[in-house]
Amino acid sequence: MNLRATPTRVTVGIVVATLLLSGPHGVVDLTPERGSGFGSGEGAASVRDVALPDAATLERGRYGADAYALSVPPARATVRDVTGRPILVYAVSVPDLGYSRVTLRSLDATTTGRVELALARDAFAPDRIDRATYEAELSLTLRSGEEVTVLRRETVTVEVVG
């Protein structure tokens, strides 16, 4: 018996057995569940002390940059008693600019206490900015499966600076 060939044969045997058992006609499904990396939105959470910013800015770029950058401060809330994987959704919409953006935060049993959700800054060409102020809608919602709960919604002024 050749002992050097034994590990190779064992490895080949394991690979072949795995392929046969998990193939299209096999009895084992080794496919990872879709969406398992972020969260399904199923579950529940207690969310309190929701705070949305009271203003935002569109600031003209510095050092020769013509673009305006939209800056919206983060939303904050206190989270407790999380079951499953519900999702917090922080959204901004500036209808007169045809603009909207969301950021998501998947919650789990380890999420407890104060959480903060920040929106990315986006740039606008100077020819799109034709006012000193715009109105923006901000909202923080909790998605639990098919149910969406609006935790807070505010209309704020976006001040154009520069």
Nearest-angstrom CA–CA distance, 115 and 96: 30
Q: What's the predicted TM-score (pTM) here?
A: 0.74
The CATH code of the domain at 43-161 is: 2.60.40
Q: What is the pLDDT of residue 162?
A: 81
Long-range CB contacts (within 8 A, 24+) of 95-98 = 95/135, 95/137, 96/131, 96/134, 96/135, 97/124, 97/128, 97/134
Q: How would residue 35 be classed by pLDDT, with cut points 50, 70 and 90?
A: very low
Higher pLDDT, 20 or 50: 50
Q: What is the pLDDT of residue 77?
A: 97
Identify the residue whose tokens are 């394991």. Answer: 14
Residues paired with residue 47 on neighbouring β-strands, in sequence order = 79
- Mean pLDDT check: name the lowest of 59-73, 87-101, 121-135: 59-73
pLDDT tens across 106-146, in order? 999 999 999 999 999 999 999 999 999 999 999 999 999 88
- On whether the CB atoms of residues 69 and 61 are closer than 8 A, the answer is yes
